[in-house]
Amino acid sequence: MASKRSLELLRQFTTCDIGDALVRLKYPYGGFLDGIRMFSPGPDTRVMGHAVTVQMVEMSDKSAPRVEKHFVDHNEDGGIMYIQQPKGLYSACWGGLMSTRARYLGAQAAVVDGRIRDVREHIEFGFPVFAAGTSVLGSNTFSRASRINVPLQFKGDLWINPGDILIGDADGVVVTPTSLIDQVIAICQPRAEVDEKFFVELRRGASMDHLIKTVRKDK
């Protein structure tokens, strides 16, 4: 469990900073959720929260477990719901009504490994939604929620576990387990300081090659 202070320190870094740190820590794919991008509300948005996971299945799957209540009601204050839709479905599994409910419950965002709809509504609400794509079709006849707060495989060795920290901004979404947060911060802090020196020197006309050799080195 990450401390409140550690989470506040982590919040100051971008997804790029965190992803680079996770690569150095040899975390699978640098924690990058490839293909997931921001749809709302805008490029200045940055979100962070603990993962609340939802596994969707196709409606035709009668053997998969069923949830007792609508999955959106499982959103948690300060959390980010991660919804995994079966691959290849052309329907959406998240829409404007769900963003409205999630926001009321205190959710920070929704991350959908699949399709969403009602993009304009999410933008108007100011609720952050990240997804792989969009659809005009709802989920009613195509998919349903099956399990809540279970580990979900994103790709290869990269999993999203309940309680993992999701961070999203205009560059995409990254996930980190709480056990690595302090190590991520230890890498990000000096790297951020070096990058700031880069910006200053580049604006003065310094060459990138010179700065890499003299300022960045192994940072």
- Residues of the chain scoring pLDDT < 70: 1, 216-219
Nearest to 99 by CA among 108, 87, 90: 108
Write the CA distances from 82 to 55, 59, 102, integer angstroms: 9, 19, 12
* Phi, psi torsion values for 29, nearest 5 degrees: 55, 20
Look at residue 61 in the predicted model and tell me its pLDDT: 93
Alpha-carbon span 75 to 105, nearest angstrom: 6
pTM above 0.85, yes or no: yes
pLDDT above 70 as % of the chain = 98
Look at residue 1 in the predicted model and tell me its pLDDT: 67
Identity of residue 150? V
E-strand ranges in the chain read: 37-40, 47-58, 79-84, 109-116, 129-134, 143-148, 152-155, 158-160, 165-169, 172-176
Look at residue 122 in the predicted model and tell me its pLDDT: 98
* Whether the Cβ atoms of residue 81 and residue 112 lie closer than 8 Å to each other: no
